[in-house]
């Protein structure tokens, strides 16, 4: 199958954006986990580990491609104060939706194994968003187009 | 990478150049759109069979409809006439059996959408990726 290989903004930028989203997710789960207990805290730790694994893979991938690997920031601005379980779950849903959006965008800029990896990442984010929505008591627990803006 | 029926249209390129008679080759998205429509029908049938499941299943049926509509828009032509409507499952009215049958159909649908995503040109990859991911979340919601 043919694919246009260098549409703007380009594969390296798409993957760099995904990496930035993974950095932010890892940071956010540090905040989220503090406000959760029991199985939900365990799920937050597992989610954080999953985002770390995606981050590590992306760093290697971008390095090997010879491109610039964006650095993590020291901290991130939260969209609202996260002070309790409800706001922590809400942030978890948003973080996964955001990361899903960047992986979805990467699909158009990748082919072959790279695209399959982006799809796996998008799917994992969507699944975690669904589980967090369920934990937060939100209905429906699914969205029609995971990662689509708007 | 094999896409079954979706691979067939490749030989249709010559026909396009002649430009006159014969229908255009089917779009590779057709099987994905047909499956979305079939999945919606399965969910609607399950809701009819077990109305207590409506709260859980209606949003998923609506998602499949939204997928079919979006795919249809991208394909840019109406559904081919005579598209076989997939027979609703014969899972009876037992909720557990209905959910299990739906899970099986979603699992297959997820796989097909992922394969279509892998094979798609750049401008269709994001839509197919969202559909594959959505079907994965449907499996989660059926648990």
The pLDDT score that the predictor gives to residue A146 is 98
What is the CATH classification number for the domain harbouring B102?
Answer: 1.20.1260
For residue B53, is it within any domain? yes
The two counts, helices (H) then strands (E), for chain B are 5, 0
pLDDT of residue A65: 87
The pair of three-digit structure tokens given for residue A19, joined into one six-digit string: 């990496």
Residues of B in contact with A108 (CB under 8 A): 122-123, 125-126
Task: Indicate whether B37 pLDDT > 60.
Answer: yes
* Mean pLDDT to the nearest integer, A47-72: 94
Position B88 scores a pLDDT of: 57
Alpha carbons B110 and B97: distance in angstroms, whole number? 20
Q: Residue A55: which pLDDT band, with cuts at 50, 70 and 90?
A: very high
Q: Do A108 and B132 touch (CB under 8 A)?
A: no
Nearest CB to B141; choose among A4, A112, A130: A130
Give pLDDT, residue B79. 84
Residue to test with chain A: of B1, B10, B73, B126, most A Cβ within 10 A: B126
> What is the Cα–Cα distance from A107 to A119, expressed in whole angstroms?
7
What's the alpha-carbon Rg for chain B, to the nearest Å? Answer: 16
pLDDT for B24: 79
Residue B17 inside a domain? The answer is no
CB A1 within 8 A of CB B119: yes
Contacts of A127 in chain B (CB under 8 A): 133, 136-137, 140
Cβ count near A138 (within 10 Å): 14
Q: Is residue B108 part of a domain?
A: yes
Which position has the higher pLDDT, A55 or A2? A55
Looking at the domain A11-135, which fold is it? Ferritin (1.20.1260)
In this structure, what token pair is assigned to residue B122?
A: 């750049």
Is residue A136 classed as helix, strand or coil in its secondary structure?
coil
At B3, the pLDDT band (50, 70, 90 cuts) reads very low
Inter-CA distances, B56 with A135, A138, A142, B137, Å: 15, 12, 10, 13
The Cα of A28 is separated from the nearest Cα of chain B by a number of Å equal to: 22
Q: Which domain holds residue B138?
A: 26-77+92-142
Do the domain assignments include residue B7?
no
B20 within some domain? no
Residue ranges covered by each domain of chain A = 11-135
Looking at the predicted structure, is the pLDDT value of residue B2 above 60? no
Query: How large is the average pLDDT for residues A2-29?
Result: 80
Between residues B3 and B43, the one the model is more confident about: B43
Of B111 and B18, more confident: B111
**Which of A13-17, A95-99, B4-8, B110-114 bottoms out in mean pLDDT, i.e. has the lowest?**
B4-8
Q: pLDDT at position A35, please? A: 98
Residues of B in contact with A141 (CB under 8 A): 137, 140-141
Q: What percent of chain A has pLDDT over 90?
A: 87
Measure the CA–CA gap between A112 and A103, rounded to whole angstroms: 15
Q: What is the average pLDDT across B83-89?
A: 59
Determine the pLDDT at residue B85.
59
What's the pLDDT score for residue B82? Answer: 65
Q: In terms of Cα–Cα distance, which of A128, A117, A135, A133 is closest to A56?
A: A117
- Quote the crossing angle between the two packed helices A112-135 and B122-142, to the nearest 10°: 40
- pLDDT, tens digit, 9 for 90 and up, residues B90-104: 678 899 999 999 999
B136 domain-assigned: yes
| Count of domains observed in chain B | 1
CA-based nearest residue to B103, from A77, B111, B50: B111
Are B40 and B109 a contacting pair, CB within 8 Å?
no
In percent, how much of chain A has pLDDT > 70? 94
Question: Quick one: average pLDDT of A132-146?
Answer: 97
Q: Is the pLDDT of residue B89 over 90?
A: no
pLDDT tens figures, B42-51: 999 999 999 9
């Amino acid at each position: 199958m043919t694919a246009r290989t260098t549409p703007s903004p380009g594969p390296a930028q798409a993957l760099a954006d995904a990496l930035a989203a993974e950095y932010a997710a890892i940071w956010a789960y540090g905040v989220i986990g503090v406000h959760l207990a029991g199985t939900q805290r365990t799920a937050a730790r597992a989610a954080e580990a999953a985002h770390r694994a995606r981050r590590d893979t992306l760093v290697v991938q971008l390095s090997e491609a010879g491109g610039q690997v964006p650095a993590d920031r020291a901290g991130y601005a939260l969209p609202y104060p996260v002070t309790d379980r409800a706001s922590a779950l809400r942030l978890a849903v948003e973080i996964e939706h955001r990361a899903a959006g960047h992986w979805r965008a990467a699909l158009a800029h990748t082919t072959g194994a790279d695209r399959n990896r982006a799809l796996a990442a998008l799917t994992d984010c969507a699944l975690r968003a669904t589980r967090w929505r369920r934990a937060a008591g939100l209905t429906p627990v699914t969205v029609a187009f995971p990662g689509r803006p708007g | 990478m094999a896409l079954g029926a979706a691979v067939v249209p490749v030989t249709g390129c010559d026909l396009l150049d002649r430009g006159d008679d014969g229908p255009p080759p089917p779009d590779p998205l057709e099987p994905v759109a047909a499956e979305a429509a079939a999945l919606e029908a399965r969910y609607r049938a399950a809701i009819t069979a077990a109305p207590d499941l409506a709260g859980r299943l209606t949003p998923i049926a609506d998602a499949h409809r939204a997928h079919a509509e979006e795919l249809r828009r991208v394909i840019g032509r109406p559904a081919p006439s005579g598209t076989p409507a997939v027979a609703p499952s014969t899972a009876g009215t037992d909720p557990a059996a209905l959910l299990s049958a739906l899970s099986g159909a979603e699992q297959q649908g997820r796989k097909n959408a992922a394969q279509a995503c892998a094979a798609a040109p750049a401008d269709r990859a994001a839509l197919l990726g969202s559909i594959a991911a959505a079907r994965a979340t449907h499996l989660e919601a059926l648990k």
